[in-house]
Amino acid sequence: MAEFNFDDLKKTITDAADVVTKKTEAFVSIQKLKGQIYTLERSIDKKYQELGAVVFEQYSKGDKINDESAVVCEEISRVNANIAELREDLASKHGCKVCPVCEAEVPVEAMFCMKCGTQMPEEKCDCGCSSTKEECSCGCEEEKGGTDMDFGKIKEKQKKAAKKLKKLSTKQKTK
């Protein structure tokens, strides 16, 4: 029977441990570098967002920006108007309205926003008269059905939402 050599076993185990240690150190080093790259890429993305916000703010103020940026800003405005309209629709389903300053849902009967304290504007009638919705006597509230609303009314609502959004962004800038 052959004699077992513990020194060879010790050397084999030591060599294997050295290889595992080197590979682990290399792996950790690679992961650290990947983490640093990811962090820097996220900071660039954040800077892109900040740059976009600056350009959009200039656009909102009416400052001159290049045509490509203007196209993107117009699309952002349309999307923001649609979001504002959807938020109003969602709030109305909850029996609420949307605060023009902080965009919080506020009960319809509330005179002030419960989140930021802004006095809530009286809602004007959609028919175009100068009455509030509560005062209107033309019967336009019964006519509204949502499904039979024509394209012109939808466009008008989008324009109103865009104006509200612009007013909101102006108020936020002054704060």
The whole-number pLDDT of residue 146 equals 44
> What does the alpha-carbon distance between residue 157 and residue 152 come to, in Å, rounded to a whole number?
9
Torsion angles phi and psi, residue 97, rounded to 5: -130, 170
Residue 143: what pLDDT?
Answer: 46
One domain, residues 94 and 175 = yes
Q: Provide the domain limits for residue 88.
A: 66-123+171-175
Is the pTM higher than 0.85? The answer reads no
**Number of domains present in the structure of the chain:** 2
- 31 falls within a domain: yes
**CB neighbours (10 Å) of residue 11?**
11
The whole-angstrom separation of Cα 107 and Cα 115 is 12
Average pLDDT for 79-92: 91
Q: Would you state the pLDDT for residue 83?
A: 93
- What's the pLDDT at 17? 96
The rounded distance, in Å, linking the Cα atoms of 116 and 101 is 8
Which tokens hold the place of 81? Answer: 């108007």
| DSSP bridge partners of 119 | 112
Mean pLDDT of 137-157: 56
Q: What are the pLDDT digits (tens) for 23-54?
A: 999 999 999 999 999 999 999 999 999 999 99
My answer on whether 89 and 175 are in the same domain is: yes
